[in-house]
Amino acid sequence: MDTNVKTVSVIGLGYVGLPTAAILASRGFDVIGVDVNEHAVRTINDGKVHIVEPDLDILVQASVTMGRLKATTEAQAADVFMLAVPTPFKDDKQPDLAYLEAATRSIAPVIKKGDMVILESTSPVGTTAAISSWLSEMRPDLAFPHQSKTPDVNLAHCPERILPGHVLRELVENDRIIGGITHECSEKAEAFYRTFVTGECILTNARTAELAKLVENSYRDVNIAFANELSVICDGLDIDVWELINLTNRHPRVNILQPGPGVGGHCIAVDPWFIVAQNPEDARLIRTAREVNDAKPHFVIDKVLAAADRFKAPKVACFGLTYKADIDDLRESPALDIVKLLSSKLDGEVIAVEPNISKLPASLENAGNISLMDSGDALDQADIAVFLVAHRQFKDIAPAALDSKVVIRTIKS
């Protein structure tokens, strides 16, 4: 372990911050987790978790029991501060850095000479430098990297690159891009990450690291948009898009992704807009891909409504609410949007089937015509079955159970 770092504070205890805090605690660091959500803080201090991620509950319980991890709502002194708070966009698709600025200002009173601040939140280019400026406004007694080549506090950006369902492994095994405001900042951050990361640590500057994460997700978004647009074209031509993709992918230099009901999650559905916001004239393909993927849920809704016309008071079972398979994460989920919009347009009942949650999310519970059921009850009642997420439980549904239903698949069966 880097003997210069004994205490780490992780600001934001969500899908990135809590697993990171638990991994660090398991490596022998004293970890202070900070979150404004009092329920999350109480849950963690009880040795439990408020999010679903394989084996995370075991690691958190062990870390709390050993006294290596504690959670609080107030920032406390530490040697390293890791910012892992949300960076959503506003209604006009402009980046919303309010959570990040609030987190930065919360740690300003407790930072000291020799500390390091690391931004893990995916952010627009220039955000790490902005954090340096925000901190300097509140702590004029300290020198920061945008002011001095020998700062009192080092700042770097190291974007997370984890896959839900595999977070604990990928936090350790994945390569990490580390971009400091200065080269010395990069080197100090690298020394810290090497205490728990077995993947390669690649050094660059903060601006390049910021854009690298945005580009990774924009690349995927563009390729998903091609698949989603292809699915719409195939629907109009009465061609099975999955058969078509399987055939074309036999070409040695073709690898088309699978279409779906849209694109969700806190990364791919959000990050490309950060590039578009800063480069509105040049990011034409990236913008178009976002528009294609954002339009796909409406295409699905139109398909369902057309099928519903044959029923007097149709019951539509929507299988899946999360943004991807086998997790409980609803952030930016196209499936969730489809169910919500469908309930407002359908002269009938919507049945939500989501095995990874125990109650309807707040955005659905007041709709009046949406109920949460298990697969069996939903299939007993539904006229139309719409498959939106490839949860493993849905793969066990016998084909005979769907014989009397109108089936609409937005995902590969």
Report the catalytic residues. Answer: 213, 267
What does the DSSP 8-state code read for residue 200? Answer: P
DSSP H or E stretch at residue 342: helix 334-345
- Asked whether 358 and 52 are in contact (CB, 8 A), the reply is no
Tell me how far the alpha carbon of residue 146 is from its chain's centroid.
30
How far, in Å, are 35, 359, 373, 397 from residue 370 at the CA level?
32, 11, 10, 22
DSSP conformation letters of 275-311: HHHH-TTT-HHHHHHHHHHHHHHHHHHHHHHHHHTTS
Beta-carbon count within 10 A of 330 CB: 19
The pairing of beta strand 80-83 with beta strand 116-119: parallel
Give the end-to-end CA distance of the chain in Å, rounded to a whole number: 47
How far, in Å, are 284, 318, 352, 380, 402 from residue 377 at the CA level?
46, 12, 11, 5, 13
Name the strands in the sheet holding 154-157, side by side, starting at the edge strand that comes first in the sequence.
69-72, 30-34, 7-11, 80-83, 116-119, 154-157, 176-180, 201-205
- Asked whether 100 and 124 are in contact (CB, 8 A), the reply is no
DSSP H or E stretch at residue 408: strand 406-409
Task: Please tell me the number of Cα atoms within 13 Å of 380 on its side-chain side.
Answer: 5
d(CA 154, CA 181): 8
Q: Tell the residue number behind the tokens 């095994």, with chain if given.
A: 173
How far, in Å, are 30, 169, 200 from residue 27 at the CA level?
9, 14, 18
Tell me how far the alpha carbon of residue 301 is from its chain's centroid.
24
What does the DSSP 8-state code read for residue 138? Answer: H
- Asked whether 263 and 334 are in contact (CB, 8 A), the reply is yes
